[in-house]
Structure 1
Amino acid sequence: MKLKNLTLFDNRLSWSIPAEIGMLSELEALCAGGNQDIDGEIPAEIENCRNLQVLGLADTKISGGLPRTIGRLQKLQVLSLYTTMLSGKIPADIGNCSELVDVYLYVNSLSGSLPPEIGKLQKLQNLLVWRNNLAGSIPEQIGSCKSLTVLDLSLNFFSGTIPQSIGNLTNLEEVMLSSNNISDSIPAVLSSATRLTQFQIDNNQISGSIPPELGLLQHLQIFFAWDNKLAGSIPTALSSCQSLQAFDLSRNSLTGSLPPDNFRRRGGLGSNPTIPKKSAFIHAMFNGFDEPHRSADEADRENKVIYGVPVATWLMHSNQPLNAILLTEVLGISVVVREWEAREEVVGAAMIKDVVGRLLSAEEGVEIRKRTEKVSVALKKSMEEGGDLCRELDDFIAHITR
């Protein structure tokens, strides 16, 4: 059979991939993501699909591990298996897939370490393995992936240091290492990644001072390093980060004062040093929800909306009930963990498990994720120069400075 393209995504198919898939030697693309009733394991016989370029089974119930035979798919360019039931280790054989460009393995139950053979993937651009059970150190060989633009290892159990070899990745645009057990200091060589727009290392064990070399990152828009062990002062060189929009260093041991240039609106408020840059002000307006007591966890949860990640709403105090109505009933991008009326009750493991299950579920979870992505796009657009939120802020600033 000379079938080259098998595209079945976003249906309600109930199917397990048969071993006979290996008979489709001409197959170039298998795209069946979004079918919540596709289950079973990826058969080892897939190695016989030697022309396969795209393997897309995201948002299904595919389980088991990645077969070692996947390393024989030397034409594979896209491996899209996010939000499934995959477990086990990422096989070292993946390093033999020399044409790989995109690896999407996030929101699974993968364990073990990130194999150093990943460094053999010279064409790899996107490596997203967040929210798994991966551990060990980030391999130094990652610095050999010279085409890498997005690296997301968040919400795992990685330890050790940020490898110095990250300075070799001059095409990097986004580095997300949040919520791991990474220690030691921020490598100054990161300044070589001059295209970097996002650097997120929050909720780790990172210590030392913030290297002034980060001021060379002219395109940096988001820098999150809250909940670490950083010390010393905030370097004045960060004032050179002209594109910075979101800057969060909460819950560290930093001393001194903020560099004054970070709080001067460029482009026409005279000598008033107290008005923040408009982009930072927009970020604060959205994430604050006008809550004076919001915690770092709340800030992180609200940040996720901007990046298209659904949230769980946990009502505790202040005007959170009103925020919950906005998120759940108006926008439809959240699930309530505990109702306001039951705020004095203890939230049990079963309740949390139920909410997480709903967010990752076949029907409700998929719809929530789709709506969240739409809200994310709209929010980002409104925050751009000329967007609705941007125009309203211009009017507000004009009013208070008239």
Structure 2
Amino acid sequence: MSPESISGHHYFFFIFIFLIIICPSSSQSEPRQILLKIKTNFADSSTLQVFTTWNEKNPVCNFTGIVCTGDNSVKEINLPQQQLTGTLDFDSICSLKSLDKITLGSNLLHGTITPHLSNCTNLQHLDLGYNHFSGEFPEISSLTHLQFLNLNLSGFFGQFPWKSLQNLTNLTYLSLGDNPFEITPFPSQILNLEKLQTLYLSNSSIQGTIPEEIGNLRSLQSLELSDNYLVGAIPPAIMKLTNLQELEIYDNELTGTFPVGFGNLVLLTKLDVSNNSLEGDVSELRNLTRLESLQLFENMFSGEIPVEFGDFKFLKQFSIYNNKFTGELPAKIGSWSDFEFIDVSENLLTGLIPPDMCKNGKIFDILMLQNKFTGGLPESYANCSSLTRLRVNNNSLSGRVPAGIWSLPSVKLIDLAMNLFEGEVTPNIGEAKSLQQLFIANNRFSGELPPEISQVSSLVEMELMWNQFSGEIPARIGDLKKLNSFHLEGNFFSGIIPESLGSCVSLSDVNLAGNSFSGEIPASLGSLPSLNSLNLSGNKLAGVIPASLSSLKLSLIDLSNNMLIGRVPESLLAEAYDGSFAGNPGLCADGRRDLRECSMGSRKSGDLDVAKYCFIAGALVLVLSSLACFLLVKSRRKDRKAVSERGFSWDMKQFHVINIDEGEILRSLKQENLIGKGGSGNVYKVELGCGKKLAVKHMWKSSIDTGDRNTSVETILPKQKSRWPEYDAEVATLSSIRHVNVVKLYCSITSEDSNLLVYEYMPNGSLWDRLHTYQKVDMDWNVRYEIALGAAKGLEYLHHGCDRPVIHRDVKSSNILLDEEMKPKIADFGLAKIVQTNKVMDSTHVIAGTHGYIAPEYGYTFNVTEKSDIYSFGVVLMELVTGKKPVQTEFGENNDIVCWVHNEMRRNDNPITLVDLNVSDDWKEDAVEMLMIAIRCTMKIPAMRPSMRMVVQMLERIEPRSPIDVVIDNDIHIDKN
């Protein structure tokens, strides 16, 4: 066919076919170029495996992560968890007109999202969660087809465009949580999204109440509003959400009870309302038989656990700790399902431990501490190979521990402390290859420590104190290379301290006090690189102190009450407190008041004999002096009629050298000299004829016996008259305290039914007076800081510097007295307890302390620890910084300054507003730093609080700058501006 014969129509047809052959399809080239352009925005895209298919030769629909429609248009971009970095070009992305799904979650994307996102009008699914974007999220009201929106933990901040959600009525999944958005009331636009099945707004800075309109979202299956600032009650309208399977509203400030009808949410499998202020019983939950996870901890729930909980056949996780539940646990709880953990700690539960929670062999945590459980550990748990943590401390459990418990293969923590267990630790403990922490203190365990315990190479902490163990420490204890803390105090161990203990290279804390160890102190202890605290007091150790100990950097050393001889190494003297070497007549040191002087030949036995004779002679002189003092006191009793009208017999014991006329003191106890009243008596100001001023506390036995539960009870003693000598001994121990920040007790004057305690007089009264009463004065920050540091040093001495640690138990601003220079001194030891060797610390059934200062653990245990003092001191720091009292109406019902400060610091962007207005602006940042220390001191869990030694160190690190430094800093700031 000749060209001439081809009609025009056919000509153009051939041209069209030719163009198709020689030109690539626009449907292929345009998407390819767009995707390759998008690829260039990702860093290292050329090296990422996911992009090896993204090239000029490969069809677009074969690109990894790309899904196409039937006509080869790009429908989906799916690249989650690909370690993508870089930014997103939504101008290019949204030019893919058929695109309806973008999944780029769990990458490392950053930068801002441009408004071009609103051009992706066909999007149904958008997942940008778990990335590192910045800036505000753009307005997206045009994305009306959107069904799935996930921005969880994506990094966006500022004001979220809540109004744009009102057009997105097709949304079934909305997750905006864990982003630092601006605080906002509950967004009303969400309440009209009636197709929503999943709503995740946890940690989204939402405040106010949960609105009743939440009941509009009847398709909801999962509702998560946790970690916000929600207040008020759970709205009754929530019962309309009958499709709800998951409800999480923990970490808010919700109050009230579970609303009537809550049990109608019968499809619930997960319920978490923990860490709120909810109260009442939980009977509304008895019908939620599908529950798999029930978290009610850290609220104020009370009443008994419904017996129906024992029939929940799907329950795997049950946590109700830190409430006020009473009664018994259902015996069948956890026996039906693959039960995983139970935590019912810190309640008032009684009865037996349910026996079948490991029936299906899946449970890993049994946490039941600080209740009132009785009976023993069920034998059924001896074969629970899945168990990793067993904590039942501080109950009334008794009997022998089933032998299999000691050898559980997965157990990492066994905590049986503060019960009535007896029997031995069995040799099979050597099979517990995962055991890291063994806490069995304060029980009645006996027998020898089995040598097999040295095979538990994973052990990090071992606390066996205050039991009845005997025998020797296993010779191969040095095999425990990970052992960090080793406490055996208060037992009947004997024999030598094995040299191999020095091979426990991780040891930082060793306490073997109050046993019957003999022989010499192993020199190998000096090679322990991390040893921080060494207490070998109250044993029968002999010989010299090894010179190797000089290389240690100890924060505490106590070798008192042994039979040591020779010169104390100089470096240890620098680290020790008074009393660290007391009770060793054969020890000496130059220039120490608590030790005798060393002579040139002090190491010779003859000189040691002379030292012994001198010691005996000195003791005789002390006895004769005391007798003379006693006779002098007896001769003065004719002057006592001003106070002792009933002819009481008085005895005086002096603790400091001072010329005190007993009769003059007694005559001065008049109404006009009254300067204060306490829970156990009156305090008088006494001015002696020589001009000396004293403070005298007059306590009658009747007040001491009864004890007022609602006040600061200064001394609580049983009523038996036979216990008064113990009280005298306690006062005598306290009187031995010598510290510049502890008030000085000069003497005690006692009769049959009253006591006089004579203290140094503190002219500026108490810190409470200076902060909160009509005697209030303006204190600049330097004064407040010095008061805080001085009081901390006083408490540090009590906890760490005395022969036996002293726990004050009533630390408060009214017990911090101020001298004429506003220097602080800890006072009022009426509640103090001395930690005594060979003796379980005494406890009382009266809560010790003052409302507002009492540590939360007092609510469930009468055990006293130094951590309780630290909590109370944290309250004092808060008073110093804020100027507020521990309890004020502005904190809200049942709240105190600790709750208020913790909450305000969490949600307040400018914590400087918490600082007392009387503190100069120049020092408010310093004040906030002190407030941070106070927060650490008042942590709810005692173990999370620092020691007083650490508190002193933290306070020293925030020492106020000199005025010159402040002026220079201010000048620099002005110049910069």
Category of TM-score, reference length = shorter chain: 0.7 to 0.9
C-alpha contact (below 8 Å) 1:120/1:145 kept by paired residues: yes
CA displacement at 1:72 relative to structure 2: 1.9
From 858, 865, 868, give the equivalent of 1:360: 858
Matched, 1:126 2:383: no
Q: Describe the superposition over 1:146-199 as per-residue Cα deviations: whole angstroms up to 9, x where unpaired.
A: 100000111111111112221211100000111111110001111121010011
C-alpha contact (below 8 Å) 1:155/1:180 kept by paired residues: yes
CA displacement at 1:17 relative to structure 2: 1.9
TM, length-normalised to structure 2: 0.33
Corresponding position of 1:235: 498
Residue aligned with 1:360, SS: helix
Corresponding position of 2:343: 80
Residue aligned with 2:514, SS: coil
Distance 1:379 1:171, change over 3 A: farther
TM, length-normalised to structure 1: 0.76
Corresponding position of 1:171: 434
Corresponding position of 1:29: 293
Distance 1:345 1:135, change over 3 A: closer
Corresponding position of 1:302: none
CA displacement at 1:16 relative to structure 2: 1.3
Alignment partners' CA distance in 2, 1:294 and 1:108 = 40
From 825, 828, 849, give the equivalent of 1:341: 828
| 370-379 or 122-131, larger mean C-alpha shift | 370-379
Distance 1:245 1:179, change over 3 A: same
C-alpha contact (below 8 Å) 1:265/1:276 kept by paired residues: no
Query: How many residues align structurally?
Result: 358
CA displacement at 1:266 relative to structure 2: 4.9
| 372-381 or 130-139, larger mean C-alpha shift | 372-381
User: Please, which runs of 5 or more residues in structure 2 have no aligned partner?
Assistant: 1-265, 531-545, 559-574, 583-714, 716-729, 743-788, 797-806, 816-826, 835-841, 860-893, 900-937, 957-977
Alignment partners' CA distance in 2, 1:108 and 1:294 = 40
Alignment partners' CA distance in 2, 1:350 and 1:233 = 33
User: Please, which runs of 5 or more residues in structure 1 have no aligned partner?
Assistant: 296-312, 390-402
Q: Which has the higher contact order (CA 8 A, sep 6+)?
A: 1
RMSD, aligned CA: 4.2
CA displacement at 1:47 relative to structure 2: 3.0
Matched, 1:40 2:297: no
Alignment partners' CA distance in 2, 1:344 and 1:81 = 31
From 256, 277, 280, give the equivalent of 2:552: 277
CA displacement at 1:137 relative to structure 2: 1.0
C-alpha contact (below 8 Å) 2:425/2:449 kept by paired residues: yes
C-alpha contact (below 8 Å) 2:346/2:371 kept by paired residues: yes
Q: Which residue identity is paired with 2:288?
A: M
| 314-323 or 80-89, larger mean C-alpha shift | 314-323
Distance 1:222 1:346, change over 3 A: closer
C-alpha contact (below 8 Å) 1:230/1:252 kept by paired residues: yes
Alignment partners' CA distance in 1, 2:321 and 2:307 = 18
Alignment partners' CA distance in 1, 2:314 and 2:296 = 17
Q: Which residue identity is paired with 1:326?
A: A
Distance 1:248 1:374, change over 3 A: closer
Alignment partners' CA distance in 2, 1:366 and 1:124 = 36
Q: Which residue identity is paired with 1:370?
A: K
Matched, 1:96 2:359: yes
Corresponding position of 2:628: none
From 56, 62, 68, give the equivalent of 2:331: 68
CA displacement at 1:20 relative to structure 2: 4.7
Matched, 1:198 2:461: yes
CA displacement at 1:24 relative to structure 2: 3.1
Alignment of 1:314-393 (within 5 A): 316-317=734-735, 318=737, 322=742, 325-326=791-792, 335-336=809-810, 340-341=827-828, 343=830, 353-355=846-848, 358=854, 359-361=857-859, 368-370=938-940, 372-376=942-946
Matched, 1:110 2:373: yes
Identical-pair percentage? 23
Residue aligned with 2:342, SS: strand
Q: Describe the superposition over 1:221-254 as per-residue Cα deviations: whole angstroms up to 9, x where unpaired.
A: 1110011111110111111110111111111111
Alignment partners' CA distance in 2, 1:74 and 1:28 = 9
Alignment partners' CA distance in 2, 1:60 and 1:137 = 29
Distance 1:218 1:93, change over 3 A: same
| 314-323 or 184-193, larger mean C-alpha shift | 314-323
| 151-160 or 353-362, larger mean C-alpha shift | 353-362
Distance 1:18 1:346, change over 3 A: closer
Corresponding position of 1:252: 515
| 350-359 or 198-207, larger mean C-alpha shift | 350-359
Distance 1:177 1:2, change over 3 A: same
CA displacement at 1:51 relative to structure 2: 2.2
Corresponding position of 1:159: 422
C-alpha contact (below 8 Å) 1:170/1:194 kept by paired residues: yes
Residue aligned with 1:34, SS: coil
Residue aligned with 1:206, SS: strand
